[in-house]
Structure formats: C-alpha cells, structure tokens
Amino acid sequence: MRADQASVLLELTPMQLDQLDTVMRIERAAYPISWSRKVLEDCVASTNDCWVLRYDRQIVGHSILSNVLDETHLLNLCVEPSLSRNGFGRWMLRALIQKAMTRHSTIFFLEVRESNHRAIALYHSEGFNESGMRKNYYPAENGREHAILMSLDLSFDVYT
C-alpha cells in the first residue's frame, strides 16, 4: 500500500519507551551503523521531539527532531526497509516540516551520509539545498564518512 493511498491510516505519535524494541528492530535493519538503544532512550527522555510513524497502528518508522530557537534539526528519519519506496519516508518528512512550520522555525536542516543517495534524492525532491559539508562526521565500516548538510528555508513563513 502506498502512503498516498493509505494516508488516512498513517499517523505520527510521540515515541514511548515501551515501543523501543520495535523502533530498535527497524533502526538496526535500516542503517548500516544504527543508533544504540541507549541513545534512543536518552532522546525520549530529552527535550527532543521523538516520533513513531504508525500505519494502521503498527510502527513502520520513526523520526527525531531537535528544536532550538527558530531552528529545527532532523536527527533521524527511518522507515522499515521492507516498506521502502512506498512514500512513507516522504509522508513523514512532510509531516515533520509541517510541525516545524507550526512552531515558526525559519530553517529545517539535517546531515546525511554522502553515500546515502536515496535519502539525498528525497531531500532534494522536497526542496532542500546542500548548504555545507561536515568532514568525517559519521563512523563508517572503514573509517569515517563525510556528511552533507542540507537545509530547507522556512523563513517565508515569517512574512505570511
């Protein structure tokens, strides 16, 4: 089922500690080097906005935002791999941008591995620009990998 046909059954709900088994299963399946359970626990306990994406009440992805003043930083965006390329990532990203606009953020930004072509394609197609590079930002299987910094200008919202 594609997200655009299933959107009535899709929702973002706040991540709960008792959902971390499922979140960790998806996280480990989706990333070559995933976050640890401790990092996710700390996120849920922090002021970050931690979300699970539910399709028909089943968890199919997750995302984490950090909000500081008028900036929103996307720390994690992840979809269950067996459901990939069905529009769920795009649906979740758009919902997160909407949340940032609702809180009057003027910029929405993120880091992405330079080898992560599918995520980069998603961000470009949603209007993000490449605004910098963070050298050796990520651990990699053989050393370190650069991050591309991508950002979406939301400041037009200030004038509307």
Ligand X SMILES: CC(C)(COP(=O)(O)OP(=O)(O)OC[C@H]1O[C@@H](n2cnc3c(N)ncnc32)[C@H](O)[C@@H]1OP(=O)(O)O)[C@@H](O)C(=O)NCCC(=O)NCCS
Cα(92)–Cα(66) distance, integer angstroms:
16
Separate counts of helices (H) and strands (E) for the chain: 5, 7
Contacts of ligand X in 22-61 (CB under 6 A): 30-31
Closest C-alpha to 13, from 60, 45, 46: 60
Candidate list 10, 64, 96, 119; residue touching ligand X; CB under 6 A? 119
Structure tokens given for 128: 């993000």
- Residue 137 found at the interface with ligand X (CB under 6 A): no
Which of residues 93 and 154 has its CB atom nearest to ligand X in the complex?
93
In the complex, the smallest distance separating the C-beta of residue 79 from ligand X, rounded to whole angstroms, is: 4
Candidate list 1, 33, 121, 133; residue touching ligand X; CB under 6 A? 121
Note the residues at the interface with ligand X (CB under 6 A): 30-31, 77-79, 84-90, 110, 112, 116, 118-119, 121-122, 125
